[in-house]
Structure 1
Amino acid sequence: MTHTKNTENTLPSKKAWTGNRILNLFLNIALIGLIVWYGYKYHGLLYPTTRVSDENKARIIMYSTKWCPYCIEARAMFAKNGIAYYDYNIDSSKDGKEQFFELGGRGVPLFLIDNKVIHGLQKSRIADLLNKGKKISPIKKTNKLSN
């Protein structure tokens, strides 16, 4: 007589059952970790932590480079008017560069003001977003060289 094994009513071994539970637990933890990681990443993009000016309460993030003449002009304009902002140098900041491209950045400077994206140094548009009873005077270009 030959014995055949009845496979219909066979339960997995205790070792196999434990292995599956550990694998499922690991996969669930990994999935939760990914959700938290990407949720935090995109939350930071939509609601960035920035320095806020006491005078106009506008949240300003500038994505820039050190060598860009328009970026230099924007920094001078903000300094002249006492406007606080956060400056991401996309050449040296990995987070800044990622955010720059996620916001559709094609060139610098790129501004995020009150969750509105502004491509380039559009002084009048920036002033409109920042003006809350305060006049912002843009930097005037001159051909004179100062010593």
Structure 2
Amino acid sequence: MAANVEIYTWSTCPFCLRAKALLVKKGVDFTEYCIDGDEDARDEMAQRANGKRSVPQIFINDRHVGGCDELYDLDSTGELDSLLENSAA
């Protein structure tokens, strides 16, 4: 079973586009929550993301991994592939 990947985005955010591009390049299916101007959705995201309100916010198997920079950091150390291979229990 594939990892459950969720990403909160704004449609014109360059960091969101970059994070999604990495996931697509890796062939990862993900659920995108585009929260443009939706403060209720942003509040929900912030609650899940330990108060972080910037986008993107990325979750793998309900684990908050951070934003675009953190996603690329995980990729550069090989940890991202490991997270993506470990399917939800």
Same fold, TM-score > 0.5, yes or no: yes
Amino acid in the other structure paired with 1:77: L
Amino acid in the other structure paired with 1:108: V
Deviation at 1:117, TM superposition (A): 1.0
Task: Report the equivalent of 1:80.
Answer: 25
RMSD value, Cα: 2.5
Higher RCO, 1 or 2 (CA under 8 Å, sep at least 6)?
2
Number of matched residues?
A: 78
Task: Indicate if the aligned counterparts of 1:58 and 1:130 stay in contact, CA closer than 8 A.
Answer: no
Q: Map 1:1-147 to 2 at 5 A.
A: 57-91=2-36, 96-103=41-48, 104-121=51-68, 122=70, 123-125=72-74, 128-131=79-82, 132=85
Unaligned runs of 5+ in 2: none
CA distance in 2, matches of 1:81, 1:95: 31
The structure with the greater share of residues assigned to strand is 2
The TM-score, its normalising length taken from structure 2, stands at: 0.69
The structure number with the bigger radius of gyration is: 1
The TM-score, its normalising length taken from structure 1, stands at: 0.45
Identity of aligned residues (%): 26
